[in-house]
Structure 1
Amino acid sequence: MFAAIASGNPLQMSEELPNSNGLQHTVVLSSTKPKSYSHITLFILPNVTFPQEYIANVYFKISATEDFKLFGYLASEKPSAIFKVKLPNMMDSSSQDDGLGEIDMDEDYTGLPSDGSIKMDNSDGNNISQLLIGISIEPRNEGMLKLQEIRNQNKAATSSSLVLAKPNVNSVQITTAGQLAKMYPVLTHDLAAKIVQHAYNYLSGFLDSNGDVNIKRFDTWWDKFRKRLANDGTFLDEVTTE
């Protein structure tokens, strides 16, 4: 009924699990290369007619001893989802990771923030090939309520103030852009320059014969920029300024 595939690996089908505490299907990525990072695509098989009054909530766990955690859903109007999975490399002694892996929630579900990862215990050094995916087919209202609860939990977790540690100084709470610029003027200048350059690179492709750009193009750039920044702000490292 379902299938999953990790980037660059074989497709793996789900198996039915009767009498398994609510999880009717599971996928074990046993044929996947033993690595610590991958994008995993989960989808309803093309020949399956999925009832509109139900959704399939998607759960993950990396160890048989831990509980499944909810990360997204599939449904008739949304037959596939992509999850970004990252587990700490337990072989890297220089890693500063605290032993917890992360899975980015299904970005297609707007109720779950794409930057709101749920952490998973990986103290045993597991890899992607040992990841367990559980699928629970539930009445739509009940399933969506569970997703809403996860959304609320992540919203509460990310609403706290940003705290940055200045070298050789006790941790200082930073709550405004001005405070950030005062404490890190060089870094703030570099950040601003990269944002301006990114906008320039995009908008320069829409110049008219007079060298002007329609303001709507700027609005489009800003919308795209904010979404990309929320997904992975490290893309700014690739922007070069003159």
Structure 2
Amino acid sequence: MFAAIASGNPLQLSTEVPNSNGLQHTIVLSSTKPKSYSHITLFILPNVTFPDNFIATVYFKLTPTEDFQLFGYLGNEKPSAIFKVKLPTSGISQPWGSSYGDGLGEIDMDDSVADTNIPGTHNISELIIGISIEPRDQGMLKIQEWKVQQQSAKTNNSSLVLSRPGMAGTIGTVGQLASAYPKLTQELAAKIVQHAYNYLSGFLDNAGNVSIKRFDTWWDKFKARLANDGSFLDEVTSN
């Protein structure tokens, strides 16, 4: 009924969970290359007729012993979704956070949540996708509650509080940040301007002008991407 593709790896089909009457499915990414993929695409198979009054909630976990974490859903109006994977850098991967955005879940497998003395690392090729088919009202209620939790977590982590050796107090405003790190702030501003230029230059009219609506679209997309992962700015270059 479902299938998943980890980037650079073959398609893998779902299997029904025994005694679930076809309502629960799993996909174990056991044959993938653990260090080679950054995105997973999950979709309903083309020949499957999915009832309008049901959705398939999507969950992930790293090993059979862990608890599933909710990351989105599939349905007739959204037969596929893409999930971004962040591989761990060292140590045991802790329960990951996620960010919501138009069907894009994020499996954040960083190991910075808590220190641990347990040796070894997770094999990311053991990533398990759990899929539960449930009534739409019941499933969408879970999704809405999940979105509220994610937004709350994002809001709680959005305040900027930095300290710099040799400086008293903390950095809590843009002006203080620019004063403390003028060169880095200048580089950041240049990256943002270049990112806007790269995007807007594709919409120039014959007079060399761009509609303000194009700028608004760029700004909305930029803010959303910055909230998900600001490291993309490191890759911004001039055309």
TM-score, with structure 2 as normaliser: 0.81
> Would you say the 8 A contact 2:55–2:73 is kept in 1?
yes
Indicate whether 1:190 and 2:190 are aligned.
no
Task: Please name the residue that 1:31 is paired with.
Answer: 31
- TM-superposed deviation, 1:63: 1.7
Q: Any gaps of 5 or more consecutive residues in structure 2?
A: none
- Percent same amino acid among aligned pairs? 66
Distance 1:154 1:117 in 2: 13
Task: Please name the residue that 1:94 is paired with.
Answer: none
Task: Please name the residue that 1:203 is paired with.
Answer: 200
The aligned runs of 1:1-242 (5 Å cut-off) are: 1-19=1-19, 24-35=24-35, 37-90=37-90, 99-100=93-94, 102=96, 104-105=98-99, 107-109=101-103, 117=108, 124-160=120-156, 161-167=159-165, 172=170, 174=172, 176-240=173-237
> Would you say the 8 A contact 2:71–2:106 is kept in 1?
no
1:225 aligned counterpart, secondary structure: helix
- TM-superposed deviation, 1:191: 1.2
- TM-superposed deviation, 1:26: 0.6
1:78-129 Cα distance to aligned partner (Å, 9 max, x none): 1111111223144xxxxxx7743647456433xx8x6795878996512221
Amino acid at match of 1:162: L
Q: Which one is further off, 202-211 or 155-164?
A: 202-211
Distance 1:206 1:107, change over 3 A: closer
Distance 1:87 1:207, change over 3 A: closer
Distance 1:87 1:136 in 2: 25
Distance 1:13 1:103, change over 3 A: farther
1:159 aligned counterpart, secondary structure: helix
Distance 1:55 1:209, change over 3 A: closer
> Would you say the 8 A contact 1:58–1:136 is kept in 2?
yes
Distance 1:10 1:130, change over 3 A: same
Distance 1:99 1:173, change over 3 A: farther
Distance 1:138 1:145 in 2: 11
> Would you say the 8 A contact 2:87–2:108 is kept in 1?
no
Amino acid at match of 1:100: Q
1:146 aligned counterpart, secondary structure: helix
Amino acid at match of 1:158: K
1:24-56 Cα distance to aligned partner (Å, 9 max, x none): 111111111132752111111110000111111
Distance 1:42 1:217, change over 3 A: closer
Cα RMSD of the aligned pairs, angstroms, is: 3.2
- TM-superposed deviation, 1:4: 0.9
> Would you say the 8 A contact 2:32–2:125 is kept in 1?
yes
